[in-house]
């Protein structure tokens, strides 16, 4: 990959510096693979469209961070937030202490104002030898290749990945995190995740106990990264998001990108974070699946003991605990797809 120092005539770097990450990703359909050093010493590496790493001129240690958005193309709030973050890093307003990879995963779906084009990209990050199928399959393969290359020179315990999303439904917690279940879970890793959550004003943690094929699971499972899926507010059209409501989360990302060897609790607020376990992953097994409880309209809204909250295959779905709630309830998904998470607050 060619390394260039003079970018005056490079339209890709010109638009990135002057118009931002969103504009450059949406308007440049092809990103030639190249490495560039800009005037302030930052080293930019272009992998594929929407995949950009930024490395400080000098750094110590072997940390690395991935920030991804647009895995679902219509989730525009996080895309706009990371556009702002990339601009802050490029301008020097925000310092980074180590290599950082920014991924805008599915720009074509964003242009079409769709979640995806053929299939859900966030269910395609499974085994490395999976068959590549369709548009989203090709995107997943590229992302996995780039992440593997990016993480090569870093240490597993010093890798982080935040995959940013937003929900189609309102939530009791406007900002909440999902920790995937991986073979590398540990108490010390969870403690660092907690510190980040406190710094970033994350209001709730959702703990998964079974593997999934989501992007955050992939980086945690295969690269030992401290990985989270973060849900930031609700769906809005591109350009209509109020980023001020995520100012605390943005500050948390600033801290993460400029960390030393690890995050700690220095200057960390003693914030009470709600913690939930995933009790069940509800799959749509019959076309008649319907969520009948009004609580299904709001993530984390508590169900009542013995309340019917849905019907599937003609059989009522009954809440067996007063501490249960639904998250991501959507009975319109295709048969075989996840329709909701049934969760229980544990603290």
Please count the other Cβ atoms lying within 10 Å of the Cβ belonging to residue 323.
Answer: 16
Tokens of 189: 């890793």
Residues annotated as part of the active site: 231
Looking at residue 322, its pLDDT comes to: 87
Query: Which domains does the chain show, CATH number per domain?
Result: 3-257 (3.40.630.10), 278-345 (2.40.50.630)
Q: What is the pLDDT of residue 61?
A: 87
Residue pair 103/48 in contact (Cβ under 8 Å)? The answer is no
Mean pLDDT by 10 residues, the chain (347 residues): 63 95 97 94 98 96 97 98 99 97 99 96 79 88 97 94 96 96 86 92 94 94 97 96 97 95 59 90 96 97 97 97 94 92 95
**Complete DSSP assignment for 256-321:** HHT--SS---TT------EEEEEEEEEE--STT-EE-SGGGGSBTPBPPTT-EEEEETTEEEE---
Query: Residue 264: what pLDDT?
Result: 63
The pLDDT of residue 112 is: 98
Residue 100 contacts by C-beta under 8 Å, 6 or more apart in sequence? 53, 54, 55, 64, 65, 66, 67, 89, 257
């Amino acid at each position: 990959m060619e390394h260039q120092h003079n970018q005056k005539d490079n339209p890709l770097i010109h638009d990135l510096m002057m118009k931002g990450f969103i504009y450059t990703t949406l308007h440049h359909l092809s990103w030639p693979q190249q490495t560039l050093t800009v005037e302030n010493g930052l080293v930019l590496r272009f992998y594929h469209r929407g995949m950009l790493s930024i490395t400080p001129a000098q750094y110590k240690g072997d940390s690395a961070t991935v920030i991804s958005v647009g895995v679902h193309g219509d989730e525009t709030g996080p895309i706009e937030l990371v556009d702002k973050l990339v601009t802050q890093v490029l301008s020097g307003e925000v310092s980074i202490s180590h290599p950082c990879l920014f991924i805008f995963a599915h720009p074509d779906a964003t242009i079409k104002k769709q979640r995806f084009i053929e299939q859900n990209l966030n269910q395609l990050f499974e085994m490395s030898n999976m068959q590549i199928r369709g548009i989203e399959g090709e995107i997943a393969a590229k992302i996995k290749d780039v992440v593997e290359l990016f993480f090569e020179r870093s240490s597993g315990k010093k890798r982080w990945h935040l995959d940013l999303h937003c929900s189609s439904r309102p939530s009791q917690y406007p900002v909440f995190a999902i920790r995937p279940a991986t073979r590398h879970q540990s108490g010390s890793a969870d403690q660092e995740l907690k510190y980040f959550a406190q710094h970033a004003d994350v209001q709730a943690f959702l703990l998964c106990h079974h593997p999934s094929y989501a992007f955050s699971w992939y980086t945690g499972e295969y690269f030992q990264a401290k990985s989270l899926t973060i849900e930031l507010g609700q769906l809005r059209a591109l350009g209509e998001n109020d980023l001020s409501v995520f100012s605390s989360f943005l500050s948390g990302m600033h801290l993460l990108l400029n960390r030393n060897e690890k995050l700690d609790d220095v200057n960390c607020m003693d914030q009470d974070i709600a913690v939930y376990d995933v009790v069940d992953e509800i799959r749509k097994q019959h076309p008649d699946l319907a969520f009948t409880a009004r609580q299904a309209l709001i993530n984390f809204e508590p169900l009542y003991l013995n309340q019917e909250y849905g019907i599937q295959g003609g059989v009522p779905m009954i809440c067996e605990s007063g501490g249960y709630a639904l998250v991501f309830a959507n009975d319109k998904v295709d048969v075989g797809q996840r329709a909701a998470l049934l969760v229980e607050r544990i603290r």
